[in-house]
Amino acid sequence: MKAISIIFLLSFSYSAFGQSAKKLNKQLRAELLVEQQKQDSASLTFSKSYNEISLLKEQLMMKSKELQKGIKNIRQTKEEVRQVVNLLGMLGENVDVSKLNKYGNLPDSVNKLKPIEDLMKTIEPFEAVPSNLSLEGLKVSQQNELLKEKLAVYRNSIQENELRLQRNNFRKDQLEQGGPQVDSVISMIKRAHLSAVDNKKGLDKQVEALRENYRTKGPKGFSAAYRRAFPDIHPLPPGENDDIVMDGSMDSEGDYDAALVQKKSSIPAQEPEIYEVVDEPAMFPGGYEALKKYLAENIVYPSFAKEAGISGKVFLKFVVSDKGKVSNVKIMRGIPDCPECDKEAIRVVKGMPKWIPGKISGKAVNSLFNLPVQFKL
C-alpha cells in the first residue's frame, strides 16, 4: 500500500512540474511577442524623429550654402575696396580708413555656428534586435532558458534605444533653435555686404572725380601715377613708360592700408636699389592666409603684457630681397609700455621663411613691405 502511494505521489509531482514548465513557456512566448511589438512601435517613433532631423539638416545645409556665398561676396568686395584705397593712395589722396566699416567679426560669427554643424554629424541610429529564435527540437526547459535570454536582450535594447531617442530629440531641439541663429548670421552678412558695396561706391566716385579732373586738366601738372591709373586718358607717346605702381602694403587682419607711396625707398641708396612700390608685391609663401597662420602659430605673447592686459599692433617695415630673404626689420610704431611686444614681433618676422619676391616688369627686385603684427588677448 505504501509503495502504491509513493508511486502515485511521484507521478503527480512529475505531471505538475511538466505542466508548470509548459505554462511558463507559454507565458514567456507571450512576453516575447509583447517585446517585439514594443520594438516595432519604438522603431516607428525613431524613424519619425530621424526624418524630422533629416529635414532640419537639409534646411540648415541650404542656409549654410547661403552663408558661404555671403562670406565669399564680402571678401570679394573687401578686396575690391582695398584695391581702390591703394589706388587713391597711389594718386596722393588721403583716405580715412577708420571711416570704412570693418563689417563685423565674420570669423567669430561663423565659429559660433560650429556646434550646430557638430550636431548635424552625430545623429544616432536605431538598433533593432533580430527576431529570429530557433526552439525546434529543444526540451521545454531549454526553450524557457533561451526565451528568458531573448527577453533580456529585447528589454536592454529598448532602454538603450530610448536613451538614443532622447539624445536625438535633444539634438533636434538644438537644431530647431540653430535655424534662427544661422538666419541671424546670414542677415548680418547681407548687411555687411551692402555696407561694403556702399563703401566701394563712395570710393569709386572719388576715383571717377579724379579721373575727370585729370581728363579735363591733364596731363600737365599731374604725377605719372595718373598715367598708370588712367592709361586710356592722355596716353604716353610710343616707347615711353613710367614705374608708378600699386602699394604692396597689407594688414595681418585684412584691414585697409592707405599709406601714401613713393617710387623708391627713403632708405639710403644701395646697390641694387630697394623699391617701395612694385608691379607685383612680395608675398608670403602660401599667401595671406598662410601669413596669418604663421603669425598665429609663432607669436609668443609676452607674459608681462598678458598679465597687464596690454594689447595692440606693432607696425613693422622690412626688406624682401630679390631672392625672397627678409632683412632690415624695423619698428615703425610699437605698442606703448610694451617693448617686449616689439621685440617679439621683430623676432617672429626675422624667423620667417623665404618670401616670393616683388617684381617690376616681371623681374624680381628688392622691395619694402609694411606689416602690422597684432597682439590680442
β partners of residue 314: 373
Q: Show Cβ contacts of residue 155 under 8 Å, excluding neighbours closer than 6 positions.
A: 35
Dist. CA 96–CA 75, nearest whole Å: 20
Give the tens place of pLDDT for each residue, 278-294.
888 899 998 888 898 99
Helices and strands: H and E segment counts in the chain: 8, 5
Dist. CA 69–CA 63, nearest whole Å: 10
Percent of the chain exceeding pLDDT 90 equals 18
Q: Does residue 320 have a pLDDT over 90?
A: yes
Q: What's residue 60's pLDDT?
A: 80
* Closest-CA residue to 135 (of 35, 34, 26, 36): 26
Amino acid code (one letter) for 215:
R
Q: What's residue 210's pLDDT?
A: 87
| Cell numbers describing residue 259 | 599709406
Q: What's residue 278's pLDDT?
A: 80
Contact 355, 282 (CB under 8 A): yes
Dist. CA 50–CA 133, nearest whole Å: 29
DSSP 121: T
> Is residue 219 reached through a cis peptide bond, with omega within 30 degrees of 0 on the bond before it?
yes
Dist. CA 97–CA 199, nearest whole Å: 10
Of residues 296 and 239, more confidently modeled: 296
Q: Does residue 5 have a pLDDT over 60?
A: no
Of residues 200 and 277, more confidently modeled: 200
Global pTM value: 0.48
Q: Given pLDDT bands bounded at 50, 70 and 90, which one contains residue 110?
A: low
| Cell numbers describing residue 305 | 603684457
Phi and psi based region of residue 242 (left: phi greater than 0; alpha: psi -120 to 50; beta: remaining): beta
Q: What's residue 347's pLDDT?
A: 93
For 359, the 3-state DSSP assignment is strand
Q: Given pLDDT bands bounded at 50, 70 and 90, which one contains residue 98?
A: low
> Which among 87-91, 146-150, 188-192 has the top mean pLDDT?
146-150
Average pLDDT, the chain: 78
Give the tens place of pLDDT for each residue, 210-252.
888 888 887 787 877 787 777 777 765 544 444 333 333 344 3
